[in-house]
Structure 1
Amino acid sequence: MLPYLTTALLALGLPQPAAQNAFRQSMVLVAEEAGPALYQQARTAARQNNVPAALRLLKRAVATGYYSPETLQEEPDFAGLRTQPAWLLVLAQARTRQQRHEAQFDQPLLALIRQIGHQDQQFRRVAAEADRTYGPDSPQLRAAMQQQSTLDSRLIRQVDSLITVHGYPGKSLVGEYQQSVAFLVIQHNPDDKYLPLLTAAADKGELRWSSLALLIDRLKVEKGEKQLYGSQLGPAVNGQYQLQPIEDEPNVNTRRAKIGMEPLEDYLRRWSISYQVPTASLNPNPPTLYVAPRPVVDEEKSPVELIGGYEALYAQLQYPAAARQQHLAGRVTLELRIDKQGIPQDVTVVKSLGGGCDEEALRVMRAARFTNQAGEDHEIRVSLPFPYEKAK
Structure 2
Amino acid sequence: MLQAGKGSASDHYNAACSWALAGNKNKAFAHLEQAIAKGYLAVAHWQKDTDLSSLHADKRWPKLVDDLKRSVAAIEAKYNQPLKAQLESIYEKDQQIRREFVAAREQHGMESAEVKELGQKMEQIDQENLKQIMPLIETYGWPGKSMVGMHASSAVFLVIQHAPKEVMEKYLPLLREAAAKGEASKNHLAMMEDRVRMNQGLPQLYGSQVQMDSDTKQWVLYKVEDEANLDKRRAEMGLGPIKDYLKSMGVEYTPPTGQPVK
Specify the TM-score bucket, using the shorter chain as the normaliser.
Answer: 0.7 to 0.9
Q: Residues 280, 243 of structure 1: CA spacing in aligned structure 2 closer, same or farther, 3 A cutoff?
A: closer
Which secondary structure does the structure 1 equivalent of 2:248 belong to?
Answer: helix
- Deviating more after overlay: 153-162 vs 99-108: 99-108
TM-score, normalised by the number of residues in structure 1: 0.54
Residue number in structure 1 paired with 2:92: 118
Residue number in structure 2 paired with 1:129: 103
- Supply the distance in 2 between the matched residues of 1:203 and 1:230 (Cα, whole angstroms): 20
CA contact (8 A) 1:213 1:229 kept: yes
The alpha carbon displacement at 1:61 in A equals 3.5
The alpha carbon displacement at 1:220 in A equals 1.7
Return the structure number with greater helix share. Answer: 2
Give yes or no for the alignment of 1:86 onto 2:64: no
After superposition, residues 265-284 of structure 1 pair within 5 angstroms as 265-275=243-253, 278-279=255-256, 281-282=258-259
Amino acid at match of 2:91: G
Which secondary structure does the structure 2 equivalent of 1:178 belong to?
Answer: helix
Which secondary structure does the structure 1 equivalent of 2:220 belong to?
Answer: strand
Which secondary structure does the structure 2 equivalent of 1:130 belong to?
Answer: helix
The alpha carbon displacement at 1:55 in A equals 3.6
CA contact (8 A) 2:207 2:221 kept: yes
TM-score, normalised by the number of residues in structure 2: 0.77
- Higher CA-based Rg: 1
After superposition, residues 358-377 of structure 1 pair within 5 angstroms as none
Amino acid at match of 1:265: K
Residue number in structure 2 paired with 1:146: 120
Amino acid at match of 1:270: S
Amino acid at match of 1:247: E
Residue number in structure 1 paired with 2:173: 196
Residue number in structure 2 paired with 1:50: 23
Give yes or no for the alignment of 1:169 onto 2:147: no
Residue number in structure 1 paired with 2:3: none
Q: Residues 94, 69 of structure 1: CA spacing in aligned structure 2 closer, same or farther, 3 A cutoff?
A: farther
The alpha carbon displacement at 1:223 in A equals 2.5
The alpha carbon displacement at 1:139 in A equals 4.3
Larger RCO (CA within 8 A; separation ≥ 6): 1
Structure 2: gaps spanning 5 or more residues? 1-6
The alpha carbon displacement at 1:274 in A equals 3.8
Give yes or no for the alignment of 1:180 onto 2:154: yes
For the aligned residues, what is the CA RMSD? 3.4
Residue number in structure 1 paired with 2:182: 205
Residue number in structure 2 paired with 1:106: 80
After superposition, residues 297-336 of structure 1 pair within 5 angstroms as none
CA contact (8 A) 2:203 2:224 kept: yes
CA contact (8 A) 2:20 2:55 kept: no
CA contact (8 A) 1:236 1:242 kept: yes
Which secondary structure does the structure 2 equivalent of 1:272 belong to?
Answer: coil
Return the structure number with greater strand share. Answer: 1
- Supply the distance in 1 between the matched residues of 2:110 and 2:244 (Cα, whole angstroms): 21
After superposition, residues 371-390 of structure 1 pair within 5 angstroms as none
Give yes or no for the alignment of 1:252 onto 2:230: yes
Q: Residues 90, 114 of structure 1: CA spacing in aligned structure 2 closer, same or farther, 3 A cutoff?
A: farther
- Supply the distance in 1 between the matched residues of 2:233 and 2:207 (Cα, whole angstroms): 10
Residue number in structure 1 paired with 2:202: 225
Identity in percent = 33
CA contact (8 A) 2:17 2:28 kept: no
The alpha carbon displacement at 1:152 in A equals 1.2
CA contact (8 A) 2:145 2:183 kept: yes
Which secondary structure does the structure 2 equivalent of 1:82 belong to?
Answer: helix
Residue number in structure 1 paired with 2:4: none
Q: Residues 59, 242 of structure 1: CA spacing in aligned structure 2 closer, same or farther, 3 A cutoff?
A: same
- Supply the distance in 2 between the matched residues of 1:170 and 1:269 (Cα, whole angstroms): 31
- Supply the distance in 1 between the matched residues of 2:117 and 2:47 (Cα, whole angstroms): 25
- Supply the distance in 1 between the matched residues of 2:252 and 2:45 (Cα, whole angstroms): 25
- Supply the distance in 2 between the matched residues of 1:45 and 1:154 (Cα, whole angstroms): 38
Structure 1: gaps spanning 5 or more residues? 1-31, 286-392
Which secondary structure does the structure 2 equivalent of 1:242 belong to?
Answer: strand
- Supply the distance in 2 between the matched residues of 1:269 and 1:54 (Cα, whole angstroms): 24
